[in-house]
Amino acid sequence: MKTSSSPIEIERLFTSQTVLCDGAMGTMLYSCGVFINRCYDELNVTQPDLVRSVHQQYLQAGAEVIETNTFGANVFRLAHYGLSDKVHAFNLAGAKIARQCVDAIHEKQGTKAWVAGAIGSLGVKLAPEGEVTADEARAAFAEQIKALAEGGVDLLIAETMMSVAEAEQAILAAREVAPQLKIVVLMTAGEDDNCLDGTSPEDAARRLTAAGADAIGCNCSTGPITVLEVIQRMRPVTNLPLVAMPNAGMPRQVEGRHIYMTSPEYMARNARKLVSAGAAWVGGCCGTTPAHIRAIRSELRAMTAQAVGEASVGSSAVAGVARSEEVSVEPPALEERSLIGRKIARGEFVTMVEIVPPRGFDPSKELAGAALLARAGVDAINVPDSPRASARMSAASLCLQIQQKVGIETILHYTCRDRNILGIQGDLLGAASSGLKNILCLTGDPPKMGNYPDATAVFDVDAIGLVRIVQGLNHGLDIGRGPIGGSTGFTIAAAANPGVPDIDHEVRRFAAKVEAGAEYCITQPVFDLRLLETFLRRIEGFRIPVIAGIWPLTSLRNAEFMKNDLKVAMPDEIMERMATAKNKEAGLAEGLAIAREMLAAVRDEVQGTQVSAPFGKFGAAVEVLGLAVSQSAEVA
């Protein structure tokens, strides 16, 4: 069987944009009840539909390269099962199954993907440490590769190589029996970041490059952090594409089963780091599933959009507008765009209160709260976009109703979680047309955090890419840099979190948001003044007006939730103060006192405050701000 990919297509695969590979095959088969003492390669013949279903799940998750179920289909490993005479049969069947899956999705959806023939380590040591000679090793690899090529693979991946000498024999075998196929070679590393034969990542990269590999890298190992270190050390010493496919951490035994605990979101965040470190291909190894690959896909798409902000994903091919039509306009001055824009531009102190949309379709309580806040003199209402990935009324709908029925300005929180770049543009153009002029650009909480954890996230862009898109619309240009007929005139806000453990990363992202076009920022709730002061010092030189978040705690339980579930930095003294409250009323009073103290302490350091109204306690927000209102009673 021939491959369905031309040499030109394969060459592009090794020279173009980031490539997403699949995840673990064994983990998926194990989850289906196939015990670990079975020969998984045999399933290509005995249970082909099971293997096929795994491939299909990875393709649906967005994998561009899937590996055949042939990791252990060499003569040495199959000998443990008395199946050493089945090398050709298992590899041929594995290749054909994967080929059929890739061809089927291409025919049905137009999606292009490639089949990589998986070649695992032999499971034996080569001489002089072991008894297997280099010639015997090369012959074993050649037998497997010949069958994979016959089955129609597009390329080869020799993975989890225990020694560089073994990897070199795999390369030689590929050149002898299938010179038309490119070969990717992946070492595995220990906790010291060296290959298992003691070779450093630098020396391994040099030797594999000299041996003729087409791409090299690291897979398996002890998880993403080890693989990241290996990639960082390989990058300076080779010009070959680098490939990273880490385990989902180390497995734990739960009720007799090996379970990998690393979440898809964690793997996705590390995929971003791997690409930033120089990896051209990313995927997963043991413990990873289609959910991990889907999350990585979203992260990679966000990176692609963020890198240019305007056109790398919003190119003429997507937006249908040629770059030659680009006609930028100057947006109105900040003070001319909205009340909030005017106060920020003039250096006046801004007051905002957050109102969360209802879970149903009746916003009467929220509208009554907005009316109370308007009478009190609050400048604007902040409306979150399905916070904590919960299902609520759309933020844009509530913003419109507040502005039309109450007459107070709103700030629309807009996340990247639920919309692709076309939906984002449509929403923003609609918001501008409807009179919503203040946008807070957010990445958004992943669905896993909410009440629909199986919902699909999009994340075509993150908050930085979203800021760039809004900035482009302000200059009269859509995401393809085509004209939209004028400026949308948004004020552009970004979020900041002074309390995160990795403050260096937060500062870098903040700087990127400012560079992208953010005009002011709103922080997460502040309870530790020292962290806010540190953050403000770190952003000197690229500081924009900062609006400090203030949250009136309602109880010790509320404080514990903020600290443990929302990961808000909460000093021990705050927890101790809330613990002294003996009843509900005392808890509310102490929470209000703490909030007022926070506001007084930060007032001279920032240009405004956003006060939350937890559990719809709008009157509490008024009290924190020290405002007077004719009807200061709580809105039920």
Contact call for residues 587 and 554 (beta carbons, < 8 A): yes
Nearest to residue 613, comparing CAs of 344, 373, 439, 442? 373
User: At which residue do the structure tokens 């701000």 appear?
Assistant: 625
Give the whole-angstrom CA distance, residue 219 versus residue 256: 25
Token pair for 406: 């109450």
Give the whole-angstrom CA distance, residue 278 versus residue 274: 6
Token pair for 333: 């001055």
285 is in an annotated binding site: yes
Give the dihedral of Cα atoms 584, 588, 591, 597; nearest 10 deg.
-140
**Which ranges of 475-528 does DSSP label H, i.e. alpha helix?**
503-516
416 is in an annotated binding site: no
How far are the Cα atoms of 330, 479, 530 from residue 474, in angstroms, in the given order?
8, 11, 36
Give the whole-angstrom CA distance, residue 387 versus residue 398: 14
Give the whole-angstrom CA distance, residue 411 versus residue 439: 6
220 is in an annotated binding site: yes
In three-state secondary structure terms, 553 is coil
User: At which residue do the structure tokens 């090299």 appear?
Assistant: 216
596: Cβ contacts below 8 Å, ≥ 6 apart: 623, 624, 626
Give the whole-angstrom CA distance, residue 143 versus residue 166: 15
Give the whole-angstrom CA distance, residue 204 versus residue 202: 5
Nearest to residue 545, comparing CAs of 310, 349, 295? 349
Return binding residues.
220, 285-286
Return binding residues for Zn(2+).
220, 285-286
